[in-house]
Amino acid sequence: MPQEVAGGRACFHLGGLIDMALDFIDPWVPDWADHLQRLQGRLLEGHHVHLLFDSVFVPGTHQRFGASTRWLALFDGNPGDPATLRSVSPLTLTFAPHNTALLTVLQAGSGAPALSAVITPEPLEDWTARLRPWCVVQVGNQWFNCRFPDTRRLPGFLAALSDAQRAAFIGPAIAWHHIGRDGAWHELPIEATPDAAIPDEVTLEQDQFDQMLDDAAVDEMLFRFMTQGRHQQLTHAARYRLAAQALEAAQQHKLPERAHLDWVDHWLSEAGRADAADTPPNTPDTETALRA
């Protein structure tokens, strides 16, 4: 697992490898910004549409916002070089329906799992303070950069939390939308907890950590394939769905772990040649996987 510094702490990266030159999901749908306008138009009194943008995919995003856009960086206030931290820090900001410059800047994230929209009564400062402790979490004696702003990781991250932790993370928010692997908006099932306290630090149990690692396993494989230029005939969403199905089949049939990558590679190649993106993987066997 690659080591890095996040929030001024030496920590390990939890959530999959990143190469800013690559796209990790399908391009955002052309009307992605219209969805934000619809959320704004349906707002309850006293609520806001706050955005979470993972600028590790578009380093230096904060420098592109004009004076009309107010933003906060989740890594601000932590030890380390402020300029370096801000360049890759997740950013929070409040959606403004007439701020076209904001939408232009965010559009640079198309193809990246980088954008969430959250409806909450909390002011931007309070919402940012609620998210900040979750960026770097403790597991045993180590600290890990918890990549929940990456929308590929977000559903699995929430699923791994305890009920109390999930309440502390969500707080009084009533809706959480995010751009999914298909480039379209999806809504996460969440439950508001208006009186949830904000923790000073977050500690995860080993089984929670392992669950988050398992959630990233398919993306680790796909990253390797992407850097080799493999399986580009499939969309990102189809590639992930097929790879996840193939890995699940390999695990169910107790294929040796050393053969998992080759089996997934084999299945994606077969699916691409047969144009069989909706066909479930065949029953894997060790011999086929190891000679793929």
Question: Mean pLDDT across the chain, nearest whole number?
Answer: 87
Q: Tell me the residue type at 152.
A: R
Q: Give backbone dihedrals phi and psi of 179, rounded to 5 degrees, phi first.
A: -80, 125
140 touches 149 (CB < 8 A): no
* Total count of residues recorded for the chain: 292
State the DSSP H helix or E strand holding residue 3, giving kind and residue range, or none if neither: strand 3-6
Which residue in the block uniquely carries the two structure tokens 């009309």?
Answer: 68
Residue of 217, 178, 223, 191 lying closest to 23 (CA atoms): 223
Residue of 39, 7, 4 lying closest to 18 (CA atoms): 4
Give the pLDDT confidence score for residue 273 in this predicted structure: 67
d(CA 118, CA 158): 14
Over 90: is that where the pLDDT of 208 sits? yes
Average pLDDT over residues 4-18: 42
Give the pLDDT confidence score for residue 275 in this predicted structure: 54
Over 60: is that where the pLDDT of 108 sits? yes
Give the pLDDT confidence score for residue 285 in this predicted structure: 56
92 touches 52 (CB < 8 A): yes
Give the pLDDT confidence score for residue 269 in this predicted structure: 86
pLDDT in tens, 28-79: 999 999 999 999 999 999 999 999 999 999 999 999 998 889 999 999 977 7
Give the pLDDT confidence score for residue 218 in this predicted structure: 94
Over 70: is that where the pLDDT of 245 sits? yes
Q: Give backbone dihedrals phi and psi of 68, rounded to 5 degrees, phi first.
A: -80, -5
The percent of residues in the chain predicted with pLDDT above 70, rounded, is 85
Over 60: is that where the pLDDT of 291 sits? no
Q: Select the highest-mean-pLDDT range: 9-23, 46-60, 232-246.
A: 46-60
Give the pLDDT confidence score for residue 259 in this predicted structure: 85
Give the pLDDT confidence score for residue 233 in this predicted structure: 87
Q: Select the highest-mean-pLDDT range: 97-101, 150-154, 232-236.
A: 150-154
The answer to whether the predicted template modeling score (pTM) of the entire model surpasses 0.85 is: yes
Enter the tokens of residue 256.
């040796």
Give the pLDDT confidence score for residue 168 in this predicted structure: 98
Where is average pLDDT lowest: 7-16, 42-51, 126-135, 206-215? 7-16
Residue of 200, 266, 205 lying closest to 230 (CA atoms): 266
3-state secondary structure of 224: helix
pLDDT in tens, 131-171: 999 999 999 999 999 999 999 999 999 999 999 999 999 99
